[in-house]
């Protein structure tokens, strides 16, 4: 298939649903309990609800919405650090737009901007570097956020700043890694996952080999998937086929975009600029060993955590907020008591309602969710 409409073809979707139903009928476990498939990436979650995929599937399949939204797992303490940097005199703080409204313990970046902080939305770290070029008398900080998908662009920007000798640019590094997160999910005692739909964008960078432990050690199938409706449906069919056959393998449905070896140039930039942190705090998941990165000592002059004195405090979520349980797939978003009432996209209490990839935002935005919230 060459064109986007071909990945949204109703007849092909209906044919895939019939094949999925036939496979489910041949899987013994489906007669005893639902088959739990986690889509790791928030982009998949939004595709699932935008196109009504969950409603098409047989009742024997339960989709679990994973923690693959980097904005959603950002803890309040790190947001507070962002605000502390942004409110310093002489600082221009730059960030992707979806981080602007993530709540901190006192305020979001959007509220800090309204209070007078110079906070600017950018589309890439190179935009932030250009702001630093044009404002040599100001300190320009880029909020480095995201999984391996966005790590290379931040790394390449740091390397460019070094080549040009730009001294007024730094990165507040909150980049996180997908593999330790998946390990934490697989080790979680309150979660039972039968298979995974693997992230497409992350895999463009790292390839498919880093996931092999999921199949070899934990004996769970994973299929790296694209984001169109037929991509997701085919990936669900592929993991079900593995379960029926008694296999646990890492398969690549998104081969038109994801090379099995990933992107070597991006990997080289990441390896050159970053090193693993001993641990990193995740909203709703707690501290996960080696799940975040920081700038190597050779690039310390571009590290905002070293350049500025930060509070660096751990801050608990509001007691009634159940983002953690939603992130781990223990409950559905609408089962949170705050969903659709105290917590909406206009007045978010939790990060999952803010981000364009958050599962709460997906549930709220697409079909019938407000009615579910009212019935809960």
For 74-109, the pLDDT digits (tens) are 888 999 999 999 999 999 999 999 899 888 888 999
Instruction: Please compute Rg for the chain using Cα positions.
Output: 21
Write out the E strands in the chain.
35-41, 61-68, 91-95, 119-121, 139-146, 169-175, 195-198, 222-224, 250-252, 274-276, 279-282, 286-289, 293-295
Mean per-residue pLDDT, 142-169:
97
Provide the pLDDT for residue 356.
Answer: 65
Strands 91-95 and 139-146: parallel
Is residue 268 domain-resident?
Answer: yes
More confident residue, 241 or 312: 241
**Helix (H, G, I), strand (E, B), or coil: what is residue 137?**
coil
Mean per-residue pLDDT, 153-169:
98
- Residues 284-300: pLDDT tens digits? 778 889 999 999 999 99
**Nearby residues of 40 by Cβ (< 8 Å), 6 or more positions away:** 66, 67, 68, 178, 182, 196, 197, 198, 199
Q: Is the pLDDT of residue 275 over 70?
A: yes
Number of CB atoms found within 10 A of residue 164's CB: 12
CB 189 within 8 A of CB 214: no
Provide the pLDDT for residue 50.
Answer: 87
Same domain, residue pair 363 and 258: no
**pLDDT tier for residue 3 given thresholds of 50, 70 and 90:** low
Same domain, residue pair 39 and 170: yes
CB 70 within 8 A of CB 147: yes
Provide the pLDDT for residue 105.
Answer: 86
CATH (domain of 129):
3.40.50.11740
Same domain, residue pair 341 and 219: no
Tokens of residue 32, six digits? 């005893």
Provide the pLDDT for residue 319.
Answer: 74
End position of a domain, from candidates 313, 333, 355 = 313
Same domain, residue pair 361 and 309: no
Provide the pLDDT for residue 334.
Answer: 84
Same domain, residue pair 136 and 195: yes
Is residue 110 domain-resident?
Answer: yes
Is residue 81 domain-resident?
Answer: yes
Share of residues in the chain with pLDDT > 70 (%): 95
Mean per-residue pLDDT, 122-136:
97
The tally of CA atoms less than 13 A away on the side-chain side of residue 226 is 16
**Helix (H, G, I), strand (E, B), or coil: what is residue 239?**
helix
Angle CA(296)–CA(301)–CA(304) in degrees, nearest 5? 85
Is residue 318 domain-resident?
Answer: no
Number of CB atoms found within 10 A of residue 47's CB: 20
End position of a domain, from candidates 295, 313, 331 = 313
Provide the pLDDT for residue 372.
Answer: 47
Is residue 361 domain-resident?
Answer: yes
Same domain, residue pair 232 and 165: yes
Tokens of residue 289, six digits? 């060993």
Same domain, residue pair 270 and 306: yes
Provide the pLDDT for residue 158.
Answer: 98
Same domain, residue pair 100 and 235: yes
End position of a domain, from candidates 292, 313, 334 = 313
Same domain, residue pair 107 and 184: yes
Is residue 118 domain-resident?
Answer: yes
What is the tally of structural domains in the chain? 2
Q: Is the pLDDT of residue 371 over 60?
A: no
- Residues 357-366: pLDDT tens digits? 778 888 887 7
Is residue 358 domain-resident?
Answer: yes
**pLDDT tier for residue 367 given thresholds of 50, 70 and 90:** low
More confident residue, 29 or 101: 29
Provide the pLDDT for residue 373.
Answer: 43
More confident residue, 72 or 175: 175
Q: Measured between alpha carbons, how far is 307 from 341 in angstroms, rounded to an integer?
A: 41
pTM score: 0.88
Same domain, residue pair 250 and 364: no
Is residue 100 domain-resident?
Answer: yes
Q: What share of the chain is helix, strand, coil (3-state, %, to 5)?
A: 45, 20, 35
- Edge-to-edge strand ranges of the sheet holding 195-198: 61-68, 35-41, 195-198, 222-224, 250-252
Angle, in degrees to the nearest 10, between helices 151-164 and 264-273: 60
CB 225 within 8 A of CB 197: yes
Domain that holds residue 120: 1-313
Same domain, residue pair 283 and 366: no
Q: Is the pLDDT of residue 375 over 50?
A: no
Mean per-residue pLDDT, 315-328:
76
Q: Measured between alpha carbons, how far is 50 from 137 in angstroms, rounded to an integer?
A: 46
- Residues 227-236: pLDDT tens digits? 999 999 999 9
- Residues 212-265: pLDDT tens digits? 999 999 999 999 999 999 999 999 999 999 999 999 999 999 999 999 999 999
Q: Is the pLDDT of residue 1 over 80?
A: no
DSSP H helices in 261-352: 264-273, 304-307, 323-327
Same domain, residue pair 190 and 240: yes
- Most confident segment among 266-270, 281-285, 370-374: 266-270
Strands 222-224 and 195-198: parallel
Share of residues in the chain with pLDDT > 90 (%): 64
């Amino acid at each position: 298939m060459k064109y986007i409409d071909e990945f949204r073809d109703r007849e092909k979707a209906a044919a895939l649903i019939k094949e999925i139903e036939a496979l489910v009928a041949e899987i013994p476990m489906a007669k005893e309990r639902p088959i739990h498939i986690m889509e790791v990436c928030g982009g998949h979650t939004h595709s699932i609800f935008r196109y009504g995929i969950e409603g098409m599937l047989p009742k024997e399949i339960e989709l679990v919405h994973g923690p693959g939204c980097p904005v959603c797992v950002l803890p309040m303490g790190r947001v507070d650090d962002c605000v502390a940097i942004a409110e310093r005199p002489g600082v221009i703080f730059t960030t992707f737009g979806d981080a602007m409204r993530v709540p901190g313990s006192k305020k979001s970046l959007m509220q800090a901007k309204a209070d007078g902080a110079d906070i600017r939305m950018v589309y890439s770290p190179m935009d932030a570097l250009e702001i630093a070029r044009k404002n040599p008398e100001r300190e320009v900080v880029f909020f480095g956020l995201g999984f391996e998908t966005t790590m290379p662009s931040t790394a390449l920007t740091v390397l460019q700043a070094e080549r040009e000798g730009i001294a007024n640019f730094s990165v507040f590094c909150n980049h996180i890694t997908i593999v330790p997160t998946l390990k934490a999910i697989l080790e979680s005692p309150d979660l039972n996952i039968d298979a995974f739909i693997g992230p497409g964008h992350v895999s463009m960078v790292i390839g498919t080999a880093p996931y092999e432990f999921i199949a070899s050690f934990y004996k769970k199938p994973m299929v790296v998937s694209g984001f169109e409706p037929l991509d997701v449906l085919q990936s669900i069919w592929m993991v079900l086929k593995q379960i029926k056959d008694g296999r646990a393998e890492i398969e690549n449905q998104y081969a038109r975009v994801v090379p099995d070896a990933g992107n070597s140039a991006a990997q080289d930039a990441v390896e050159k600029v970053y090193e693993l942190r001993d641990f990193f705090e995740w909203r709703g998941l707690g501290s996960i060993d080696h799940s975040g990165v920081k700038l190597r000592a050779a690039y310390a002059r571009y590290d905002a955590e070293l350049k500025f004195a930060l509070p660096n405090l751990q801050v608990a979520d509001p007691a009634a907020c159940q983002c953690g349980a939603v992130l781990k797939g223990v409950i559905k978003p609408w089962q949170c008591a705050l969903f659709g009432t105290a917590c909406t996209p206009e007045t978010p209490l939790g990060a999952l309602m803010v981000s364009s990839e958050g599962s709460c935002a997906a549930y709220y935005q697409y079909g019938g969710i407000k009615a579910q919230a009212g019935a809960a």
